[in-house]
């Protein structure tokens, strides 16, 4: 098996005999860096000469077998609408799946339980079909989630890494790639979102299942309008709303080019929040400067989070933390009953 990111690991893998993948890379489906969105069941088997693109999200289910020379391309560099169906970047392989040599699995492919694939010509039926997600048995998880909500550029990466320092916690940053589209659909295409709501639920169940019995901490700016769905699936979940001063947020987002490009083929720009058709800002949106758009987003996002948390979540299960507050670590420590320290990431 060859993995492109590490020459040392690649050479080690070349010398190793074929063996279960987890015994080489570790049993944890979510680790660090490019492994954060991997979920490999301990009984899964991947041939040594298989090639895995490590930059995206993928799951390999129980007792599934990928023969030598299988290629798994999981990077989700684009989204598209195809025949009224959404394509997401994750590659999901169910349980008891058998895949023969020289088969290439592409982003968005979902292989149901008990499927055998012997050639690429058989794969077309597994692309662009979200209903296949319901054909995979995803066990219920006892993981207790903590969701970090923010505008982005407000310490979200640091929060995810901080929780990784606690025993029994798994902190992840933007690990469910499909939220990029699903949150946007809820805001602007509600009928289409309703059609794919089961996909959202399955992906959240999948993420929680990969954590096992640990406490799953998911930090993602795209969660801001999905609080009702999160609460429905995880009634005991806790929420931390991170807020940064508006001027500091805008300065950071400008440096990152938010709302600067009109390239609809860029994931973040294509699905970045904007006013709805019936809102007063919509008619003037294209005339707004980058800073004005960011100011709209800052207030829209934070107001949405506050309103949903206040209405839906018991007050003991959520807090709002100002990033500039010198007592923020003490406030979070008391909330999670752990000695919390926030590292500076970016």
Higher pLDDT, 178 or 218: 218
Number of domains into which the chain is organized: 2
The pLDDT assigned to 137 comes to 75
Looking at every residue in the chain, the average pLDDT score rounds to 80
Examine the domain organization and report whether 64 and 170 are in the same domain: no
Is 14's pLDDT higher than 50?
A: no
The pLDDT assigned to 275 comes to 94
* In a domain? residue 343: no
Examine the domain organization and report whether 155 and 247 are in the same domain: yes
Examine the domain organization and report whether 157 and 285 are in the same domain: yes
Examine the domain organization and report whether 310 and 227 are in the same domain: yes
Higher pLDDT, 236 or 101: 236
Examine the domain organization and report whether 151 and 130 are in the same domain: no
Break the chain down into helix, strand, coil percent, rounded to 5: 40, 15, 45
Examine the domain organization and report whether 129 and 150 are in the same domain: no
Domain that holds residue 294: 146-336
d(CA 207, CA 261): 31
The pLDDT assigned to 23 comes to 34
* pLDDT confidence bin for 225, thresholds 50/70/90: very high
Examine the domain organization and report whether 31 and 98 are in the same domain: yes
Examine the domain organization and report whether 88 and 119 are in the same domain: yes
* In a domain? residue 342: no
- Residue 331 CA, chain-centre distance (Å), reads 27
E strand or H helix at 112: none
What would the mean pLDDT of 141-149 be, rounded to a whole number?
87
Question: Could you report the per-residue pLDDT of 150-198, keeping only the tens digit for each?
Answer: 999 999 889 988 998 888 888 888 877 778 888 888 999 898 888 878 7
The pLDDT assigned to 31 comes to 39
* pLDDT confidence bin for 2, thresholds 50/70/90: very low
The pLDDT assigned to 139 comes to 67
**DSSP annotation string for 30-94:** S-SGGGTTEEE-TT-EE-TT-EE-TTS-EEE-TT-EE-TT-EE-------EEETTEEE-S-EEE-
Q: b or e along 54-79 (b: 16 or more beta carbons within 10 Å of the residue's beta carbon)?
A: bbbbbbbbeebbbbebbebbbbbeeb
Examine the domain organization and report whether 266 and 181 are in the same domain: yes
* In a domain? residue 64: yes
Nearest to 119 by CA among 109, 130, 135, 105: 105
- Residue 205 CA, chain-centre distance (Å), reads 12
* In a domain? residue 76: yes
Examine the domain organization and report whether 89 and 155 are in the same domain: no
Parallel, antiparallel, or unpaired: how do β-strands 85-87 and 80-82 relate? antiparallel
Examine the domain organization and report whether 288 and 211 are in the same domain: yes
What would the mean pLDDT of 226-239 be, rounded to a whole number?
95
**Percent with pLDDT over 70 in the chain:** 78
Examine the domain organization and report whether 88 and 222 are in the same domain: no
């Amino acid at each position: 098996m060859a993995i492109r990111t590490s020459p040392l690991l690649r050479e080690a893998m070349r010398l190793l005999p074929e063996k279960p993948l987890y015994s080489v890379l570790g049993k944890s489906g979510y680790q660090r860096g490019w492994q954060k969105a991997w979920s490999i069941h301990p009984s899964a088997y991947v041939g040594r000469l298989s090639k895995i693109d490590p930059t995206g999200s993928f799951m390999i289910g129980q007792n599934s077998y990928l023969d030598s020379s299988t290629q798994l391309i999981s990077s989700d560099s684009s989204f598209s609408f195809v025949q009224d169906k959404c394509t997401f970047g994750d590659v999901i392989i169910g349980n008891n799946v058998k895949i023969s040599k020289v088969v290439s699995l592409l982003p968005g492919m979902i292989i149901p339980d008990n499927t055998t694939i012997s050639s690429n010509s058989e794969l077309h039926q597994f692309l662009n079909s979200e209903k296949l997600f319901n054909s995979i048995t995803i066990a219920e998880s006892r993981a207790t989630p903590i969701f970090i909500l923010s505008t982005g550029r407000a310490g979200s990466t640091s929060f995810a890494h901080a929780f990784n320092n606690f025993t029994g916690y798994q902190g992840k940053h933007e690990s469910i790639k499909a939220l990029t589209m699903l949150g946007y659909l809820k805001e602007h295409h509600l009928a289409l979102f309703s059609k794919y709501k089961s996909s959202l639920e399955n992906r959240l169940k999948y993420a929680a299942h990969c954590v096992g019995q640990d406490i799953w901490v998911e930090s993602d700016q795209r969660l801001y309008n999905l609080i009702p769905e999160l609460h429905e699936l995880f009634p005991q979940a806790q929420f931390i709303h991170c807020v940064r001063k508006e001027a500091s947020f805008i300065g950071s987002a400008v440096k990152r080019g938010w709302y600067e490009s009109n390239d609809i083929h860029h994931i973040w720009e294509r699905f970045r929040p904007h006013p709805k058709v019936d809102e007063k800002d919509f008619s003037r949106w294209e005339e707004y400067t980058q800073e004005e758009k960011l100011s709209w987003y800052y207030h829209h996002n934070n107001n949405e989070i506050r309103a949903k948390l206040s209405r839906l979540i018991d007050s003991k299960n959520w807090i709002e933390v100002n990033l500039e507050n010198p007592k923020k670590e003490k406030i979070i420590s008391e909330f999670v009953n752990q000695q919390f320290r926030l590292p500076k990431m970016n």
